[in-house]
Amino acid sequence: MDDAARTKDQLIEELTRLRRRVAELETGETERAQAAEELKQQNATLAALNAMAVIVGQSLNLEQLVNAALAKIIEITGALAGTVQLDDNTGIQNHKTDSMVVRWGYTSDKAIENNRWTGLEIPIIAQEQTLGRLVVFKPTVQGWQDQDEQLLTAIGYELGVGIAKARLFEAMERQSNQLRVLGQRVVEAEEAERRRLARELHDQVGQSLTAIGINLDILSKLLPEDIPQQIISRLDDMRTLVTQTNKRVREVMVNLRPEMLDDYGILAALRWSAERFTNRTGIPVQVNGKEAESRLSIQVENVLYRVAQEALTNVAKHAQATQVTINLTFDAHYVQMIVADNGVGINPTEQTLSNDVRRWGTAIMAERVEGVNGHFSLQSAPSQGVKIIVEVPR
């Protein structure tokens, strides 16, 4: 083969190699471009899901959550309008929540009817349960791509988690409200029963004891002068027993329903109760506060009085205190009462029967306060006394 032929073959071989190299480079560039596009889409998906996660974490109010989420979805996808429709939800205690429809960006339905908008429908799912559907609309000429459907499907799951949490929170709120109402009714029923028992004691037992005492006095006067001393002593004992029993009955009546609370209000009732407590136990109680410009509600006054009564009972039984203070303050919306002693305090690590009884009394106080939408707290440490703080709406 001559030199020209060899040169030609070499050139053809080199050209083939170069073409192959160019093809490889072009393929690599295409792959890199595709990889870059996929990366871009993945970043956009992650950014969108992160934005949805932020919205889901910001609110537990169902309507606010759905509105904010739908607005963000339309912004992310470049859609013109969208709607979220939630199915009926059967929640705790078979409480049925009506379906919700939220729309964003709609001007009218005519654009849809005339096929100028194309909708993409995505299920909203949480824990393998379909909660509703998300539909977003673009102009028909633009249409939707596969990556749009993938993105919205992921968003549908994220939104489903938020909706499930919001519905659970609403169910818990309903239960909490029901418990508060029930607690208030229990307190009211208890006070009504206390009033009924106090009336019964006054009308039946008290009057009967008074009649017995009167009859004994009359009988003593009718007896002859030479009656044996043993009989006279027995009559005196009976009169003393009737008097003591009558006094105890009156004490029970006062504890059941103090007239001071009905007639003069909470501050006067607290001072009267503190004086009786000091006379009975020898522990001084200082009551601080000013009369409110207007009377509190009967329910609130009852709760404050009963909590103070229970707190003083705990002091007498457990505290080994030498001083108790009760502070009562008011503002336009709330009443605060603080009952504090300087006793041995409470050690939360102790598991004695005495502490179990005290915790039970504390639970009763807390339930009373929560029954009128108030807040109860207890602060204590060993050798530092106990402070009970009650805040209730007026």
* Residue among 130, 133, 180 nearest 373 (CA): 180
One domain, residues 152 and 267: no
Q: Domain limits at 127?
A: 44-175
Clarify whether residues 150 and 273 are in a common domain: no
13 located within any domain: no
Point out the domain boundary residue: 175, 193, 225.
Answer: 175
DSSP code per residue over 46-64 = HHHHHHHHHHHHH---HHH
- Residue where a domain terminates, one of 175, 204, 236: 175
CA dist 380 and 315 (Å) reads 13
Domain finish residue from 125, 147, 175: 175
Contacts of 1 (CB under 8 A, 6+ apart): 9
Assign residue 343 the CATH number of its domain.
3.30.565.10
Residue 197 domain flag: no
Residue pair 301/266 in contact (Cβ under 8 Å)? The answer is: yes
- Give the global pTM: 0.53
CATH number at residue 79: 3.30.450.40
The predicted structure's pLDDT at residue 196: 83
- Looking at the fold, whether 53 and 170 belong to one and the same domain comes out as yes
Q: How far is the C-alpha of 120 from the C-alpha of 112, rounded, in Å?
A: 12
265: left (phi over 0), alpha (psi -120 to 50) or beta: left
Q: What is the pLDDT along the chain (394 residues), one digit of tens a residue?
A: 554 455 556 656 666 776 676 666 666 666 666 656 666 666 777 777 788 888 888 878 888 888 888 988 888 888 888 889 888 754 433 334 446 777 777 655 655 655 677 888 989 988 888 888 898 888 876 778 888 888 888 888 888 888 888 888 888 888 877 877 777 777 778 777 877 887 788 778 888 888 888 888 888 888 887 888 888 888 888 888 988 888 888 778 777 777 788 888 899 999 999 999 999 999 999 999 987 778 888 888 989 999 999 999 999 988 889 999 999 998 888 999 999 999 988 765 554 434 444 455 788 888 888 888 899 999 888 888 899 999 999 8
> What is the pLDDT at residue 315?
92
Instruction: Judge whether 25 lies within some domain.
Output: no
Q: Is residue 237 part of a domain?
A: no
230 part of a folded domain:
no
Report if residue 242 sits inside a domain.
no
Residue at 191 is within a domain: no
| Number of other CB atoms surrounding residue 289 within 10 Å | 17
What is the number of domains present in the chain?
Answer: 2
Q: Are residues 157 and 264 in the same domain?
A: no
Going through 69-140 in order, the beta strands assigned E by DSSP cover 81-86, 89-90, 96-97, 100-104, 117-126, 129-139
Same domain, 150 and 277: no
pLDDT at 233: 87
Q: Are residues 167 and 272 in the same domain?
A: no
Report yes or no on 74 lying in a domain: yes
- CA dihedral over 50, 51, 57, 61, signed as positive or negative: negative
Q: What is the pLDDT of residue 91?
A: 41
pLDDT at 347: 65
Please check whether residues 265 and 389 belong to one and the same domain. yes
pLDDT at residue 351, rounded to an integer: 42
- 385 and 268 in a single domain? The answer is yes
pLDDT at 250: 79
